[in-house]
Amino acid sequence: MSAEYRRDEFLISTDPAKLDLDVIHGFLTRAYWLEGVSRAVVEQALRHALCFGLYAGPQQIGLARVITDYATFAYVADVFVLAEYRGRGLGKWLMRTVRAHPDLQGLRRWSLATKDAHGLYRQVGFGELRNPDRWMEIVDLDTYTRATPREG
């Protein structure tokens, strides 16, 4: 079931039918964390996550994507507000809405990665890793420059 939250002329919605793939892909393909990502990969990522679209009227102006099992863990990804709408507190509102969503309450761990928005995320409870020595990762920075089986 989708949810909607309003503030002035802005809307946050979890309705996947409202997502504007052109806007989302247009932003993410230039973002430092997904530069060059294909439209097919973005579309698949959106399908398999709880997405919070941010809108000014009918126009999508932002996004937060949550990858979760709805029981123990959530990873926040692809958070953005288009440049012309920044400075209005919309990113803070978006992240507060994500953290307050009823289906995401009681999770043991939330996670995200950021290069430059630590201040925003600290305002909604994020901090440095408690036990960084326990975390491991596989990183393939060239994955979007190579053809993948999903893209044909």
pTM value > 0.85: yes
- Give a yes or no: residue 34 inside a domain: yes
Looking at residue 21, its amino acid is L
**Whether residue 152 has pLDDT greater than 50:** no
Residue 149 has pLDDT above 60, yes or no: no
Flag whether 152 is in a domain.
Answer: no
Question: Do the domain assignments include residue 89?
Answer: yes
* Nearest to 79, CA basis, from 98, 57, 56: 98
Q: Which residues of 8-26 are buried (b: 16+ CB within 10 A; e: fewer)?
A: eebbbbbeeeebeeebbbe
| Residue 36 three-state SS | coil
Structural domain boundaries, residue 121: 4-147
Number of other CB atoms surrounding residue 150 within 10 Å? 10
Confidence of residue 143 (pLDDT cuts 50, 70, 90): confident
- Structure token pair of residue 118: 């630590």
Question: 50 phi and psi, to 5 degrees?
Answer: -90, 115
User: How many domains are contained in the chain?
Assistant: 1
Residue 42 falls inside a structural domain: yes
What tens digit of pLDDT does each residue of 100-135 get?
999 999 999 999 999 999 999 999 999 999 999 999
pLDDT digits (tens, 9 = 90+) for 59-106: 999 999 999 999 999 999 999 999 999 999 999 999 999 999 999 999
* CATH number, domain with residue 110: 3.40.630.30
Q: Which amino acid is residue 98, in one-letter code?
A: V
21 domain-assigned: yes
Question: Quick check: is 79 in a domain?
Answer: yes
**Would you say how long the chain is, in residues?**
152
